[in-house]
Structure 1
């Protein structure tokens, strides 16, 4: 067992287990102190993963894919410290267990350069479903998060630039909760919107919204 934990090919998994105990003790300490991990590490999350914050609507293609992947992993839906404990547990144990089984078959450990990314790939679905289970168990705060499609039909105000077809300008709009979102707007028809002008959002584009003049 000691050889399994200290072998160079397994050190990354052993370090994960050590970090697991550290974070678990930190969580227990925070709970005994009358708090919890909520907010301790969550402040480092991207704003799009914190639904209770008043943030800009960000639907840029490249960053959107990253946000979707992090959301798929349930990062932001459970306290980040809890998510790290789940990840370290499953990643560290999957690596050690797999290395132990392979050692029984082959008499040697597979190099960490192969096992580390392989176990990362294999453990991600387990991390997701474990975080999903924890998210259902933990008490949830009420949220004012909305889907960007819910902004369609609302009045926005151009605040920066001139919006023309295929050349959007920055605008601001309030949702049903009174929160302000900053978005990109371009005309749905062959017209232009000037700074300070109010428009009606009519649909989604790849990077923002279509709009029409406010009658």
Structure 2
């Protein structure tokens, strides 16, 4: 086991595991002192990642922001997310190297396995962070994702809506807040002003809906 830890091909994973323990100890010390890492590194995240990404129903996020959001960055303190990443990255690397060594008596080169594990560990990091985010206490917020409006009843308030020609509608979310969105029929029909419709799916500019 020690040979696996000190093997030159695994030096990156060994360093990652050591950093994970150091960061973990640092986080525990901060918590005992009544603080924690909240906000310690989060200032380096884009403003529209995490909870802020939920603000604005019609917000247009970049691919980079969507990737960060997929990784649940911003849902837990960035310092904690980094600990999860280092743990998943190092343990996955050691596991792959141990299995390869068991069957071939060889190990992947560090130049090959180190960058490969960065991508391979991301699903593990995502779901681990997702579980932790459900456990950690969160600030109350009335911000929502636009997908949460699907299934709700909206009222056409300006113009008539046809396919490819959306009209403005009003809809209330689960918090009772009103949002103004663009709605077009999912089928070949016309929604008249004042008509109530059910939102069925998100589009590039708004929502599609069906007759109530």
Aligned 1:170-185 pairs, distance under 5 A = none
TM-score normalised to the size of structure 2? 0.61
Instruction: Name which of 73, 76, 79 aligns with 1:75.
Output: 73
In 2: Cα distance, 1:148 partner to 1:48 partner? 20
The unaligned stretches of length 5 or more in structure 2 are: 151-174, 176-201, 208-212
1:97 matched to 2:98? The reply is no
In 1: Cα distance, 2:38 partner to 2:56 partner? 19
Partner of 2:40: 40
Tell me: CA distance 1:120–1:68, structure 2 relative to 1, closer, same or farther (3 Å).
closer
In 1: Cα distance, 2:96 partner to 2:37 partner? 31
Partner of 2:84: 86
Aligned 1:149-160 pairs, distance under 5 A = none
Aligned 1:108-127 pairs, distance under 5 A = 108-127=106-125
Deviations 1:65-120 (Å, cap 9, x if unpaired)?
A: 635654xx211111111111111111101101211221122122111222123322
Secondary structure of 2:37's partner? Answer: coil
In 2: Cα distance, 1:52 partner to 1:12 partner? 33
Whether the 8 Å CA contact 1:94–1:119 is kept in 2: the answer is yes
Whether the 8 Å CA contact 2:38–2:77 is kept in 1: the answer is yes
Tell me: CA distance 1:58–1:64, structure 2 relative to 1, closer, same or farther (3 Å).
farther
The unaligned stretches of length 5 or more in structure 1 are: 150-176, 178-205, 210-215
* Shift in Å, 1:3: 5.1
Secondary structure of 2:103's partner? Answer: helix
In 2: Cα distance, 1:101 partner to 1:68 partner? 31
Partner of 1:51: 52
Tell me: CA distance 1:69–1:47, structure 2 relative to 1, closer, same or farther (3 Å).
closer
Partner of 2:13: 13
Whether the 8 Å CA contact 1:45–1:76 is kept in 2: the answer is no
CA RMSD of aligned residues (A): 4.7
Secondary structure of 1:109's partner? Answer: coil
Question: Which piece of structure 1 moves more, 117-126 or 86-95?
Answer: 117-126
Equivalenced residues, count: 201
Whether the 8 Å CA contact 1:41–1:81 is kept in 2: the answer is yes
TM-score normalised to the size of structure 1? 0.60
